[in-house]
Amino acid sequence: MAQHNETGKQGEAEAVRYLREKGFEIMARNYRHQHAEIDLVAKKGKLLIFIEVKTRTNLSYGNPEEFVSYTKARLVMKAAEHYIFANDWQHDIRFDIVAVTVTGNEIRIKHLEDAFC
């Protein structure tokens, strides 16, 4: 597997660990609908959160969260709409980004709530 895929999997695993420590229940990983994918779907109380995880090993070109494009946000929202209807969700939702930076043995996580809508 390519190194960037391994980095992404590591970042997603760290994001899951972080979110669980914060009391989130992970409902789905890599939820797909047509060409759209949501990295994580989590729940906290009556709030459903759709999460894009971005992982970087080098900050030379910017922070991980800066790499969530408008197009990617639209795709996440499209898949979220499908998830909401498929699961008959009747409560509030939110779109977050979990930015993971892996440099050597150090892992930094930044959780941005209401990152896009």
Q: Is the confidence at residue 63, as pLDDT, over 70?
A: yes
Q: Is the confidence at residue 4, as pLDDT, over 70?
A: no
Q: Give the predicted TM-score (pTM) of the model.
A: 0.93
Summarize pLDDT for 76-107 with one digit per residue, the tens.
999 999 999 999 999 999 999 999 999 888 99
- Average the pLDDT over 64-68 and give the result: 93
Do 85 and 104 touch, CB atoms closer than 8 A? no
Specify the pLDDT at position 6. 78
Question: Of 83, 91, 81, 75, nearest to 37 (Cα)?
Answer: 75
**pLDDT band (50, 70, 90) for residue 60:** confident
Question: Of 4, 20, 3, nearest to 111 (Cα)?
Answer: 20
Go through the domains of the chain in sequence order and give each one's CATH number.
3-112 (3.40.1350.10)
- Average the pLDDT over 46-54 and give the result: 97
Q: What is the mean pLDDT of the chain?
A: 93
Q: Is the confidence at residue 9, as pLDDT, over 60?
A: yes
Specify the pLDDT at position 7. 75
d(CA 31, CA 43): 14
